[in-house]
Structure 1
Amino acid sequence: MKNYDNLNAYSKDDLIRLIEIYSKNWLAMDGVWFQSVEQKLGMDEAMFHDGEAWRRFTVIEAKRIKEFLKLMENPGLEGLKKALGLRFYANINEDKIEICGNTLTYSTVHCRVQTARERKNMPFHPCKEVGIIEYSEFAKVIDSRISCECVSCYPEVTDETCCCKWKFILNEQ
């Protein structure tokens, strides 16, 4: 059995702040390993390994969130909306979720990754390719009927109002 005595000493507000710290730490770790590979072997090699890491991690993350939320097998777009709201970076990035009919649109309005790279005078992360893997795999675990398409993501930005935008379609057939 795990010992949570150290966490029991903190208030709900303190624990929420701690979750934010953990989220930032996770994102920092994701960034530093990527930058290490990028600096040593180049962007193409870093992107390959990033894609492979996300292909595995996003499935693990989605399964754990789905279990935590006690979502049924195919919870539809409402289930996906709840799950997206609990992803590790959901509480440190500014995002927007809209559902219209059989489509959910997810936009990252403010992205800590791109902001950090800009601050360090680094080129933007070309995240579209990895994002397709990440969001498609996440959605499939939440509901196997949901497919994902990129609307706008660096390096192919078509919507200047956000950092990236993804469309999830519920195929009920």
Structure 2
Amino acid sequence: MEVSSDQLLALARFAFVRMDGAWFMSAAKKFGVEAAWQLDVDAWRQFAYVMGKRIRALMFPEPAWPGDFLSAVDIFMKILDIPGRKVTLEGDVISIVVTECEVQKAIAKAGIADCGIVTVETYTQMARGLFGRDMGVLVRHVKNLNQGADRCEVLITRQEAAS
């Protein structure tokens, strides 16, 4: 049986989102929602940092801001199956608008969490993985699908030093 690259990618995306949700729900059942939420934030923080490092190692040995960060975000969003996205750069502010996200859909279906904190940590740590731990970025999640907005919107600005 032949499995195409597109089929494998679709299965990997599905598995990633479902595994993220399954471990969260299991942790919430065993330890409570607050503990599961903190574990989730910590896991995404570490995961995004490692992904930033891996993307750097594979594609951008000497990354340049903002272009290579924008490319890394695009790669990451393709992996996470976030098709409804628009990324723009206006002045020194990167705007990421998402109207369709499989992770958000799973969170909304479960009804017990909000991905806003994880979103902020993911972009912050991906930048640090890509550019080094001292990379300073300010990430603001200004609109949130899980809080009734028509989209998620994140604004990212490079800072002088990490806080």
- Answer whether TM exceeds 0.5 for this pair: yes
Change (3 A) 1:52 1:110: same
8 Å CA contact retained: 2:137, 2:158:
yes
CA distance in 1, matches of 2:34, 2:80: 29
- State the partner residue of 1:80: 69
CA-based RMSD of the aligned residues comes to 2.6
Q: Which has the higher helix share?
A: 2
One-letter amino acid of the counterpart of residue 25, structure 1: A
Query: What is the SS of the residue equivalent to 2:150?
Result: coil
CA distance in 2, matches of 1:117, 1:150: 16
CA distance in 1, matches of 2:6, 2:61: 23
Aligned partner (choices 119, 123, 140) of residue 111 of structure 2: 123
1:55 partnered with 2:49: no
Q: Deviations over 1:69-112 (max 9, x none)?
A: 22424x11211110011116546122211111111111221121
1:152 partnered with 2:140: no
Change (3 A) 1:117 1:91: closer
Divergent runs of 4+, >6 A: none
Q: Which moved more, 1:107-116 or 1:60-69?
A: 107-116
Alignment of 1:1-173 (within 5 A): 14-73=4-63, 75-87=64-76, 90=79, 92-94=81-83, 95-119=85-109, 122-123=110-111, 125-143=113-131, 144-153=135-144, 160-162=149-151, 164-171=152-159
8 Å CA contact retained: 1:125, 1:154:
no
Quote how far apart the aligned CAs of 1:19 are.
1.6
- Aligned length in residues: 157
List alignment gaps of at least 5 residues for structure 1.
1-5
Quote how far apart the aligned CAs of 1:24 are.
1.6
CA distance in 2, matches of 1:77, 1:88: 16
CA distance in 2, matches of 1:71, 1:97: 23
Computing the radius of gyration from Cα coordinates, the structure with the larger value is 1
List alignment gaps of at least 5 residues for structure 2.
none
Change (3 A) 1:84 1:139: same
Q: TM-score, normalised by structure 2?
A: 0.81
Quote how far apart the aligned CAs of 1:135 are.
1.6
